[in-house]
Amino acid sequence: MAAELTPHELIAKHRPTLDQALEAIRTRAYWSPHPEHPKAYGENGSLSAEEGKAAFEALLGDRVALDQPGTDAWVGGEVSPFGIDLGVTYPHADIDVLLPAMKAGQRAWRDAGAETRAMVCLEILGRISDRTHELAHAVMHTSGQAFMMAFQAGGPHAQDRGLEAVAYAYVEQVRTPDAAEWTKPQGKRDPLTLDKRFTPVPRGIALLIGCNTFPTWNGYPGLFASLATGNAVLVKPHPRAVLPLALTVRVAREVLTEAGFDPNLVALAAERPGEGIAKTLAVRPEVRIIDYTGSTAFGDWLEANARQAQVYTEKAGVNTVIVESTDNYKGMLSNLGFSLSLYSGQMCTTPQNLLIPRDGITTDAGPKSYDEVVADLAKSVGGLLGDDARANALLGAIVNPDVKARLEAASGLGEVALASREVTNPEFPEATVRTPVIVKLDGARKYWDGADDEAAYMSECFGPVSFAVAVDSAADAVQLLRRTVHEKGAMTVGAYTTSEEVAASIEEACLEECAQLSLNLTGGVYVNQTAAFSDFHGSGGNAAANAALCDGAFVANRFRVVEVRREA
Amino acid sequence: MAAELTPHELIAKHRPTLDQALEAIRTRAYWSPHPEHPKAYGENGSLSAEEGKAAFEALLGDRVALDQPGTDAWVGGEVSPFGIDLGVTYPHADIDVLLPAMKAGQRAWRDAGAETRAMVCLEILGRISDRTHELAHAVMHTSGQAFMMAFQAGGPHAQDRGLEAVAYAYVEQVRTPDAAEWTKPQGKRDPLTLDKRFTPVPRGIALLIGCNTFPTWNGYPGLFASLATGNAVLVKPHPRAVLPLALTVRVAREVLTEAGFDPNLVALAAERPGEGIAKTLAVRPEVRIIDYTGSTAFGDWLEANARQAQVYTEKAGVNTVIVESTDNYKGMLSNLGFSLSLYSGQMCTTPQNLLIPRDGITTDAGPKSYDEVVADLAKSVGGLLGDDARANALLGAIVNPDVKARLEAASGLGEVALASREVTNPEFPEATVRTPVIVKLDGARKYWDGADDEAAYMSECFGPVSFAVAVDSAADAVQLLRRTVHEKGAMTVGAYTTSEEVAASIEEACLEECAQLSLNLTGGVYVNQTAAFSDFHGSGGNAAANAALCDGAFVANRFRVVEVRREA
């Protein structure tokens, strides 16, 4: 069967986009080919808002057929955090059939070369982009993100991160030329001359272990980095967030087929409730690359046990914001309040510990005591979320009962500066919607009324919980920041200060402990958001993650280069 | 104290060389700034042959003083494989003093930036190059390499590999700009604008665990890759090959001091006989990178246990050459014979298993039976090494008693086609010099006269031992090649064939099993030699090594990038 999509057509269509992506990762200026506004979709083959919603609704209660080899059952059981029982089922694979089938197409995929692979990846991303509205609903009803966030983070921003990974993968592979002639002078004798050919070869099968909260955003970088470097990719979604990745796999298989490649280069590994197949898959000898986002415990297990594979993990960390002084008190409060509220604090990048000097801070609105800062922040969050419609649009739903339980327990950890509030979602009355709690703790106090403040702020409390930790001084704050990043890792660090000296000491702490720092954000950029092509997500150098999105290290070891040399 | 070497001076002196190296790794054409001929030295500050020899002799029986913190004893005990008791002692370090001292200079080294670090590394390499004659003797009398090989492989070729690593490290660090302005349009509202700064930060202390046979060649890539990416480097030489790396450390410390940096950024960890400090150092929390060349057992231990570090290992493999047919029988025999003889087969790249169809091969000199091919190869090796002077110049000395024991045992493994011969070295009568043994084995025969052929050819027999393995066919040879690389790994694969079909199937095996292939070498390039800037040493994709010299993957994870962003 002739391919419907030839490399020539794909290059004509996508090479300019790849070139722009390559330029963006060099300059790290703003760039994105994926529109953020829902109204930008609906033409040129992309689904409109209504079409996307209808497409999502048509999926409910049905099978997502993928035509994968070795399908031995249909499994599923996703219930939306907004209360809908999705009723979608997915093929369950006999791994001993599926894995060998995934290897069958690898030779042709390898031989296609880096550019054609990149073009096929861009076609997949383009088709996903066309279905952004459909995927937005799928992300919303698996992660609990409110629609607008599910749309943007699960759609264009995730696609950006996928494209970024393709760009890094491409440039890494073409650093070595396809061929070289090597001529070494030998004085008066004839030179030695060799013809050399260099081929990027894949490691094998890559396993993507998806997460519940950002199935596409956290999944696409590894998926596309592995595919673009010639590997087959087995996608093992989180059991509560299968649909977005199953739709992604379906699109990838369609495009691979149309481009003349084996669709089994991308496959889905859905599981029965409680089956826990990640552990089985992770140590299969065929699996040579693993990308994982999730708990520290399982990430550590993978790093220790999946020794046959390159393991890229994003685990848990404890994110800190130092509040030392500001020349824009109102902007600081509103920026911080938004960061704490967005998606009910269920982002790996949400600040947890707010370190505030117990003697207060200086601001453009006069000196503020520790209590005042905390009260004003509580007021800011309260105001932001005072209107239920806006609260629902920002908070989304609590993703699972564990988060709810942690939230409820948090108010027992210290004095509550802002109590969590139940919000009703009129469209989805079964959704668990909660505003964040802010709890006061003391950095100098180990035991107080039976509570161990240090135990609280030195642990990740994933969800809408933050701690306003009183510290002795700026120096004490920096010291605690260092210790927290060193022992627990951090995806983000924020700081507010008007002192160049304090800023310098915070920067130095971040450089030494390897954490990404946002300084004095008071406007429309938040510490918990990073932009593809410009910001690194995580540093890969502290305990929260062993990789960053996206850099050379994220792609360079997903393939190797084989050289064949002969006399010219 | 003002630095004697300013960045400006260093850039003027070395930037053109770095630029040439960057171009060479892109084109992979022949290039080297380090002359191979001994007579090229002796001017412009470099030691002549006589000066180098005198400098080496002056070291004997003395201390190599390094002025390192925490020196608590002087240790040493190297005896040259050529029989000289070197009598050199080195500082033994109290690690709890030395490691903290090594961290003290890291901030300034980090802040110097990628270009200055590269320039300092090039100055170190330049000073090492000036001492090539001295180092040649040091390498010779620790590795047992004959002088010319010690000179070339231990001198210019090792320096090339170090420079190559610096070039890769530099280009990897400057892929991300120092700074970026990010402006995101917001429709009618003001754009979001951030100033971003990006800083490559080191992982911490890098540990180089050196090997006995190629202390500089195998050591410089990791040493310079780590140093150029901002890490401090602790050099733990093989106890039998301390001197070349101790001299290297001394030069590095001198240059660092002159350039205004802390000399403790490079330090030596010499040990007492039997102390085994590599295991202790490898799991220290300060050690975040390890480069290792040596046995599979200890490499596997490092990979399993030094989990706080990035571990780059070159371990053992079983190298294969398929002899299927040739249009240059004489050239093939002489090329292969040289490969088996060079440094008594004590290279990780020396062919071990020669797979030859039992029904013989076609050649330009007519058909040759298996027995004829083996006999002719034996004759070729015998001829090459028939003259004692030439034999000594090629073979060097047996590096340690284990190699000698393996060589002696090998003749019991099957029919001996070429017996090993003792060669007397008139200059160094105590040297153990042996010509290679070639043993006939049968790939179809598991037990024969009590010998297990398969057990022999499926194990690495490091030293001057090769097996002429009779196979059923070309297809059988390719099958055995695949299996050997898959199970045991390989640093090199060679093949002789005039059949395009056979060549294609060997190439495919090498692409799938990830091994570097040399095809039909009959002239002055040998399967066991690779050239920096052009050839990869190892693939990093089979069991013999998890890294290749040198590529992006070798450097990309030795540093991380920390971003600091703030509103513009």
CA-CA distance, B517 to B118, in Å (whole number)?
32
Tens of pLDDT, residue by residue over A254-290, are 999 999 999 999 999 999 989 999 999 999 999 999 9
Q: Token digits for B374?
A: 């083996």
Q: Which CATH class is domain A320-519?
A: alpha beta
Find the closest chain A residue to B535 by CA distance: A563
| Cα dihedral A175/A176/A180/A183 (nearest 10) | 90
Of B184, B518, B541, the CB nearest to A201: B541
Quickly state the pLDDT bin for A445 (edges 50, 70, 90). Answer: confident
Tokens of residue B563, six digits = 């971003």
- CB-CB: which of B511, B523, B561 is closest to A199? B511
Chain A: residue whose CA lies nearest to B185? A30
Interchain contact, A307 vs B303, CB within 8 Å: yes
Task: Report in angstroms the alpha-carbon separations of A390 from A372, A386, A464, A486, B499.
Answer: 25, 8, 16, 37, 73
Please say if the pLDDT value at position A503 is more than 70.
yes
- Minimal CA separation from A104 to chain B, in Å: 12
Question: Which of A110, A553, A565 is facing B557, going by the closest CB pair?
Answer: A553
User: CB-based contacts of B483: which residues, under 8 Å, 6+ apart?
Assistant: none
Query: Is there a contact between A183 and B26 if contact means CB atoms under 8 Å apart?
Result: no
Read off the pLDDT of residues A344-366 as tens digits, 9 standing for 90 and up.
Answer: 999 999 999 999 999 999 999 99
Nearest CA-CA distance, residue B103 and chain A, Å? 11
Least CB-CB distance to B514: which of A183, A562, A565?
A: A562
Query: What's the rounded Cα separation, in Å, for the pair A93 and A104?
Result: 16
Treating both helix axes as pointing N-terminal to C-terminal, what angle do A370-384 and A329-341 enclose, rounded to 10 degrees?
A: 60
Residues B309, B285: Cα–Cα separation, whole Å: 8
- pLDDT at residue number A4: 87
Chain B hits for A540, Cβ within 8 Å: 557, 560
The answer to whether the Cβ–Cβ distance between B182 and A519 falls below 8 Å is no
- The 10s digit of each residue's pLDDT in B69-83 is 999 999 999 999 999
Enumerate the residues of chain B whose CB falls inside 8 A of the CB of residue A198: 28
- Domain positions in chain B: 62-316+553-567, 320-519
List CB contacts (< 8 A) between B512 and chain A.
107, 201
B565 vs A524: CB contact, 8 Å cut-off? no
Per DSSP, the residues of A75-86 read E---B-TTS-B-
Query: Quick one: pLDDT at residue B447?
Result: 59
A260 Ramachandran zone, left/alpha/beta (phi>0; psi -120 to 50): left
Region class of A413: left (phi > 0), else alpha (psi between -120 and 50), else beta: alpha
What is the model's pLDDT at position A448?
56
Q: How close, in Å, is residue A264 to chain B by CA atoms?
A: 18
Instruction: For residues A111-133, give the mean pLDDT.
Output: 98
Q: E-strand spans in A275-392?
A: 287-293, 310-314, 320-323, 325-326, 353-357, 362-363
Residues B242 and B251: their CA atoms lie apart, in Å, by 14
CB-nearest partner of A563 from B177, B524, B535: B535
Instruction: For B205-252, write each residue's pLDDT tens digit.
Output: 999 999 999 999 999 999 999 999 999 999 999 999 999 999 999 999
Over residues A538-559, the pLDDT tens digits come to 999 999 999 999 999 999 999 9
Closest to B402 (Cα-Cα) out of B563, B294, B530: B294
Question: Which residues does chain A have within 8 Å of residue B507's beta carbon, measured at their own beta carbons?
Answer: 564
Mutation choice for B interface testing from A534, A554, A558, A559 by most B CBs within 10 A: A534
Give the count of Cβ contacts less than 8 A between chain A and B: 188
Average pLDDT of chain A, as a whole number: 96
CB contact under 8 A, A524 and B192: yes
Task: Give A85 to chain B, closest Cα distance, Å.
Answer: 37
> Which residues on B lie below 8 Å from A182 (Cβ)?
28-30, 531, 534
Nearest to A180 among B175, B534, B557 (CB): B534
State the Cα–Cα distance between residues A145 and A154, nearest whole angstrom. Answer: 9
> Which residues sit opposite A495 in a β-bridge?
A322, A519
Residue B449 is predicted with a pLDDT of: 59
Residue A297 has a CB neighbour count (10 Å cut-off) of: 10
Q: What percent of chain A has pLDDT over 70?
A: 98
Instruction: Please give the helix or strand (H or E) that residue A282 lies within, else none.
Output: helix A277-282
Chain A residues near residue B167 by CB distance under 8 angstroms: none
Question: Between B172, B531, B564, which is nearest A519 by CB?
Answer: B564
**A507: which chain B residues are within 8 Å (Cβ-Cβ)?**
564
Prediction ipTM score: 0.96
Residues B251, B122: contact at Cβ < 8 Å?
no
Contacts of A520 in chain B (CB under 8 A): 566-567
Tell the burial category of A186 from Cβ atoms under 10 Å away from its Cβ (0-12, 13-18, 19+).
exposed
AA letter at B319: N
Stretch A386-404: mean pLDDT, rounded? 97
Q: CATH topology for A63-315+549-567?
A: Aldehyde Dehydrogenase; Chain A, domain 1 (3.40.605)
pLDDT for residue A452: 84
Indicate which of B502, B528, B565, B566 best probes the interface with A, i.e. most A CBs within 10 Å of its own CB: B565
A209-237 residue pLDDT tens: 999 999 999 999 999 999 999 999 999 99
Side-chain half-sphere exposure of B543, counting CA atoms within 13 A: 19
Grade residue A68 by pLDDT with cuts at 50, 70 and 90.
Answer: very high
Which pLDDT value is given to residue B445? 75
A563 vs B531: CB contact, 8 Å cut-off?
Answer: no
Instruction: Examine the pLDDT at A457 and tell me if it is beyond 60.
Output: yes
To the nearest whole angstrom, how far is the Cα of A313 from the nearest Cα of chain B?
14
Which chain A residues are within 8 Å of B557, Cβ to Cβ? 540, 553, 556-557
Helix (H) or strand (E) holding A504: helix A500-513
Instruction: Determine whether the interchain pair B511/A562 forms a contact, defined as Cβ–Cβ distance below 8 Å.
Output: yes
Q: Is residue A507 predicted with pLDDT exceeding 60?
A: yes
Nearest to A28 among B25, B177, B548 (CB): B177
CB nearest to A560's CB, from B194, B307, B540: B540
Question: Looking at residue B1, what is its pLDDT?
Answer: 47
CB contact under 8 A, A548 and B560: yes
Instruction: Compute the nearest-CA separation of B345 from chain A (Å).
Output: 21
B172/A567 Cβ within 8 A: no
Token pair listed for B77: 């005990």
A178: nearest Cα among A156, A161, A211, A200: A200
Task: For residue A450, name the pLDDT band (cuts at 50, 70, 90).
Answer: low
Within 13 A of B62's CA, how many CA atoms are on the CB side? 11
Grouping H, G, I as helix, E, B as strand and the rest as coil, residue A397 is: coil
Which residue does chain A place closest to B186, by CA atoms?
A524
Q: Which residues pair with A408 in a beta bridge?
A: none
What residues of chain B score a pLDDT lower than 50?
A: 1
> Is pLDDT of A208 > 70?
yes
Percent of chain A with pLDDT over 90: 97
E strand map for A174-262:
179-186, 189-202, 205-209, 232-236
Task: Please tell me the predicted confidence (pLDDT) of residue A2.
Answer: 55
Buried b (16+ CB within 10 A) or exposed e, A271-289: beeeeebbeebbebebbbb
pLDDT tens for A306-346 read 999 999 999 999 999 999 999 999 999 999 999 999 999 99
- Please say whether the structural domain B62-316+553-567 has been given the CATH code 3.40.605.10: yes
Compute the distance between CA of residue A105 and CA of residue A82 in angstroms, rounded to an integer. 40
Structural tokens at position A214: 């950002």
